[in-house]
Copies of this chain bind each other. A is one copy, B any other.
Amino acid sequence: MLPWKPARIGQSVHDLDTPALVLRLDAFERNLERMTRAVSASGMRLRPHAKSHKCPAIAHRQIQSGAVGICCQKVSEAAVFAASGVRDILITNQIVGKEKLARLAETAGKARIGVLVDHPAHVAALIETAKERDVRLDVYVEVDVGGGRCGVAPRDAGALAQRIADSGVLRFAGLHCYHGTAQHVRRSGDRAAAIRDASGQALLARTDVESRGMSVEIVTGAGTGTFVHERDSGIYNELQPGSYIFMDRDYGDNEYGDGDVRFEHALFVLATVTSRPAPGRAVIDAGLKASSMDSGMPGIWRAKGMRYLSASDEHGVLALEPGIAADIGDRLALVPGHCDPTVNLYDHLICVLDDVVQDVWPIEARGALR
């Protein structure tokens, strides 16, 4: 952790020491509003994914803007958000292991908690936990609708739902139908096609559950890249986008069509030029411990003739076109390649408006991996 305060309220963004993780509040608020507008008329439930921000201040702002609650990916994240007063959390993951199940039960004493299953072993472990600890859990069957990661085949959804419903102690809450790999398909039409397929799979799963006489209250899924299609699918009724509040370079690289909703870059990593060792090369103080490189190099905000070429732990190498100025001490704003793991590198989000620090929000669930 930084051994001193990351910023002072009222400080100019131009005086911030770097690297610094900065949220432009105006763009952030417009992103929130744009999502609310895109979703509200449809009657869809919005349950934003908090794995993107890990920040209670943001979760509460999302709930004020109409979200029914949040998603988390980990029990320890959920514990942080529950402690901050969030009352409705869906953990979009399978929870395995004795200690983790005990923590899940603890957290379920503080907030309404949902979890996923995609195997009878998960159901059995949750039944044991619910009985031992006397807690209520909403259990969703995860369906593989095309992402190829976790989830049962649609034809197996009914049997698993039945085990939940028959348990007497767990509540079957619905189907989790998230298509992760569709989010960054570049062409707008291809994303629409992927979610048409996913919606078909989700419908098969719902039909399979209903054929056993159970009803499916919630069909939940979607991300920032595709949520308009799940919204309009006629089968989903809850959306889980996360990155829309920040946007990142990777989402920015998607092509956007007529029906798509585009969000603004609101999250930046401020960096400083620290070395100019050769005419076409500048080195900055933000490497792969300052901005996650898993989805490619960061963009450089409103800079022409330069690109982020390569990263080592604490250095970023920029390639400069001839005649492009970059002096030692110059400052740049990077647009992270992928917002979620970038935020997870910082303890604080420095909130600015008109280049002045307004607030510093702790990223309380940073490093909450379990």
The residues of A with any CB-CB pair to B shorter than 8 Å are 1-4, 15, 17-19, 51, 73-74, 76, 79-80, 83, 93-100, 103, 118-119, 121-122, 144, 148-152, 180, 272-277, 281, 283, 285-286, 288-290, 292-294, 311-315, 317, 327-329, 340-341, 344-347, 364-370
- Asked whether A19 and B369 contact (CB < 8 A) given A121-B329, A149-B315, the answer is yes
The smallest C-beta distance from A177 to any residue of chain B, in angstroms, reads 14
The number of times this chain is found in the oligomer is 2
- The answer to whether A369 and B294 touch across the interface, beta carbons within 8 angstroms, is no
Chain B residues with CB under 8 Å of A285's CB are 93, 96, 370
Q: Which residues of chain B are within 8 angstroms of A93 by Cβ–Cβ distance?
A: 274, 285, 314-315
Interfacial chain B residues near A99, Cβ < 8 Å: 15, 17
Report chain B residues within 8 Å CB of A18.
Answer: 97, 370
| Contact for A97 among B74, B80, B286, B329, CB less than 8 A | B329
Complex-state Cα separation, A276 to B99, whole angstroms: 20
A100 B151 Cβ-Cβ under 8 A: no
Q: Are A122 and B328 in contact (CB under 8 A)?
A: yes
Cβ–Cβ < 8 Å partners of A275 in chain B: 94, 118-119, 150
Collect the chain B residues with CB atoms within 8 Å of residue A273's CB: 96
Q: Residue among A289, A328, A340 with the most chain B CB within 10 A?
A: A289
Asked whether A149 lies within 8 Å of B345 as measured between CB atoms, the reply is no
Closest beta carbon of chain B to A49's beta carbon, Å: 10
By a CB distance below 8 angstroms, the chain B residues around A345 are 344-345, 367, 369
Nearest chain B residue, comparing its CB with the CB of A311: B294
User: CB distance B3 to A83 under 8 Å?
Assistant: yes
A19 with B370: CB separation less than 8 A? yes
State A150–B18 Cα separation when bound (angstroms): 18
For the complex formed, measure the closest distance between the CB of A235 and the CB atoms of chain B, giving whole angstroms: 21
Q: Are A272 and B97 in contact, with the CB atoms below 8 A?
A: yes
- For the complex formed, measure the closest distance between the CB of A296 and the CB atoms of chain B, giving whole angstroms: 11
Complexed CA–CA distance, A311 and B290 (Å): 19
Q: Is the CB of B288 within 8 A of A2?
A: no
Assuming the A-B contacts A150-B315, A341-B289, are A3 and B79 also in contact, with contact meaning beta carbons closer than 8 angstroms in the complex? yes
Q: Are B150 and A313 in contact (CB under 8 A)?
A: no
User: B283–A149 contact, CB under 8 A?
Assistant: yes
Q: Is the CB of A4 within 8 A of B76?
A: yes
Subset of 23 A-B contacts with CB under 8 Å: A1-B364, A1-B367, A3-B80, A4-B76, A73-B313, A73-B314, A74-B314, A94-B274, A94-B283, A94-B328, A119-B275, A119-B328, A121-B329, A122-B328, A150-B283, A152-B277, A180-B312, A288-B292, A288-B294, A289-B369, A293-B294, A314-B369, A347-B367
